[in-house]
A and B are shown apart, each in its own frame.
Chain A
């Protein structure tokens, strides 16, 4: 870092960090974001009330139950035949009772299949939002923590960013970049728009979506 004429010149290291951050973001956009979008779309589609996955799960549960109880009914008929009770009330009511049991089993199996699809839907949404939370914390944390970071810490973060590049997000370079920015910003006055507040219009972004109108902060109105 060099100084001169009252202005702080950026170092080649800071420029390199910025370039790596941009390139990592572009790489993330090109390779990982489409995959994540595809996954998120499949999760939403599978969780729909009449999705293919749901119908398939329910149908499989019904077929499995029908197959199991069909074999049981065959054995019941065979037993009645060999014991000379074919056509007796015992045999006929046994058969109707077996069909009743089959319906009970099938209904509960279909309910369980629906529940399993709902579990998968929620798990999938959790996975998608976990990806988003990682990105969000990077974006917010980058600005909040950057001012306190020293040049040495920035270098350490850059090393970590390169290590993390093999990970899922490909965004660690941005954090390292923000750290580099923090190093620079600690030496120069804060600039408009970089103080942690959103530009005009940003405050109008409504992120909440509580369906039952549950009020989490009455004083704030949300």
Chain B
């Protein structure tokens, strides 16, 4: 690799025929070539600068563009987000059950069988609703994010939210 950002480009101060000092690039191939010939023309310096800029772009920015494209076109990002949301909700409900038991025990209270059944029903219903809600939220947010990267200026339109 050559260029400013590849670490191998060299610029030297050399005199021209009239004795004036000019920055002089050692011209090296952009993609691995090693033409060690030198030139002190502005023309060649501009050419080398342009090559170095392109190489800098390829080296320093293309990987991040690819990350962005990969996220936008990922077929698993939506599913992963929904799984994560579901795990968060279910973990919260699992912890909640234990916390409820501790709090009741702290007050010296226990649930009767009927109360336990009622609590289980209502908690189960709440868990299901929260799970679905969280997954829908995560899905819509992820799809909107992907659509936004792809250029959709209004990614949160309802009709588009279900497109993955």
Interface residues of A (CB under 8 A from B): 10, 14-15, 17-19, 21-23, 25-26, 28-29, 33, 36-37, 40, 43-44, 58, 62, 73, 77, 86-87, 89, 92-93, 95-97, 99-104, 106-108, 110-112, 114-115, 118-119, 121-122, 125-126, 128-129, 131-133, 135-136, 138-140, 142-143, 171, 174, 177-178, 180-181, 184-185, 191, 193-194, 198-202, 205, 207-212, 214
What is the minimal beta-carbon distance from A196 to any residue of chain B, in angstroms? 10
Q: Which of A99, A185, A191 has the most CB of B within 10 A?
A: A99
Q: Are B74 and A212 in contact (CB under 8 A)?
A: yes
> A199 near B29 (CB under 8 angstroms)?
yes
How many angstroms from the CA of A107 to the CA of B68 in the assembled complex? 27
Residues of chain B within 8 A (CB-CB) of A19 are 22-23, 45
Q: Are B61 and A181 in contact (CB under 8 A)?
A: no
State how many angstroms separate the Cβ of B15 from the closest Cβ of chain A. Answer: 12
Are A25 and B52 also in contact (CB < 8 A) when A114-B88, A181-B43, A202-B31 are? yes
Q: Which residues of B contact A140 (CB under 8 A)?
A: 54
Report how far A106 CA is from B11 CA in the complex, Å: 59
CB–CB A92/B109 < 8 A? yes
What residue in chain B is nearest A125 (Cβ atoms)? B68
In the A-B complex, the 8 residue pairs with the smallest Cβ-Cβ separation, listed nearest first, are A132-B61, A107-B89, A209-B66, A18-B42, A103-B96, A181-B46, A139-B53, A201-B31
Shortest Cβ distance from residue B73 to the other chain A in the assembled complex, whole angstroms: 4
- CB pair B42 A118 closer than 8 Å: no
A-B contact count (CB 8 A): 258
Nearest Cβ distance between residue A126 and chain B, in whole angstroms? 7
Task: Give chain B residues whose Cβ lies under 8 Å from the Cβ of A115.
Answer: 81, 137-138, 141-142
- Whether the Cβ atoms of A200 and B31 lie closer than 8 Å is yes
User: Which A residues touch B111, using CB under 8 A?
Assistant: 92, 96
Query: Number of B residues contacting the other chain (C-beta, 8 Å)?
Result: 80
**Which residues of B lie under 8 Å from residue A178 when comparing CB positions?**
46, 49-50
CB of B55 to closest CB in A, whole Å: 9
Query: Quick one: which of B49, B100, B115, B142 contacts A174, CB cutoff 8 A?
Result: B49
